[in-house]
Amino acid sequence: MGRAEPRFPVGLTVATAISLAILIGLGTWQLQRLAWKQEVVARIAALQSAPAVALAPTLARAAGGGDVEFTRVTAVCPGLAAAPFLELYAVRDGKAGVRLISACPIAAAPYASVLVDRGFVPDTVSARPAVDPAAQAPVAVAGVLRSPEPANTFSPANTPGRWYVRDVAAMAAQLKAPSPAPVFLMAETSSNPGWTALEPAPVPLNIANRHLEYALTWYGLAATLLGVYAALLFKRRKG
């Protein structure tokens, strides 16, 4: 009797096709992320030398649907140095700590306030700046507008005493800040020069951009998988 032809490996083929689709999809997603990251890096590079503009007209542009991400602005905030604050968990330069979030009253219809990220306090500092809700001394602050990032599966739940996700509506409600703008003002200048433990956090000069490397890795794995599949088919036919 003649040798029977090996059966076509349907299960192996289906598994390979699914895995190949996933790997190619991940590679394509990384290329899309590469284009996005290149745009972000270019905008930040331009920001480093951009002059600051007034906050109110910038937020008016945001209210009209304009993109104000990474715009450098100036604002005058009454009582900001002694304003009530929330503590947002953060890590900076490898150090754990918190960022202090306060509200700044503004006149920039339809917004009546903007949340200010006043800076970072490492966990090695247990003290906090004095709070006086009645304080009205004006504080001029310059900074960059940033949109809050949404929570993900691994984000801990926010609590009144410790925040992990920038939630504009919830934070503004706890700070009793009316009609908050949908962005954060990331202070580049001190909101409390007399309390030096609070470190303003400017826009980072260097942002890692390894998405092309990641895309090539995923595409390389896809090519390897295809090669292994082809080798197995060839072996079965010879066997």
| Whether the Cβ atoms of residue 129 and residue 120 lie closer than 8 Å to each other | no
Rounded distance between C-alpha atoms, residue 113 and residue 37, angstroms: 30
Mean of the per-residue pLDDT values for the chain? 87
Domain boundaries, the chain: 1-48+206-239, 52-187
pLDDT category of residue 189 using cuts at 50, 70 and 90: very high
Full strand arrangement of the beta sheet holding 86-92: 53-54, 72-78, 138-146, 180-187, 111-122, 95-108, 86-92
- What pTM does this model have? 0.73
Q: What are the two backbone dihedrals, phi and then psi, of residue 234, each rounded to the nearest 5 degrees?
A: -65, -40
**Whole-number percent of the chain with pLDDT over 90:** 51
Query: pLDDT tens digits, residue range 26-69?
Result: 999 999 988 888 887 777 777 767 788 999 889 988 888 888 88
Q: Is the pLDDT of residue 194 over 80?
A: yes
Query: pLDDT tens digits, residue range 101-141?
Result: 999 999 888 999 999 999 999 999 999 999 998 889 999 99
pLDDT value, residue 2: 53
Query: pLDDT tens digits, residue range 74-102?
Result: 999 999 999 999 999 998 888 899 999 99
Q: Which of 7, 1, 3, 2 is nearest to 236 (CA)?
A: 7
Beta bridge partners of 120: 99, 199
Cis ω on the peptide bond leading into residue 110 (within 30° of 0)? yes
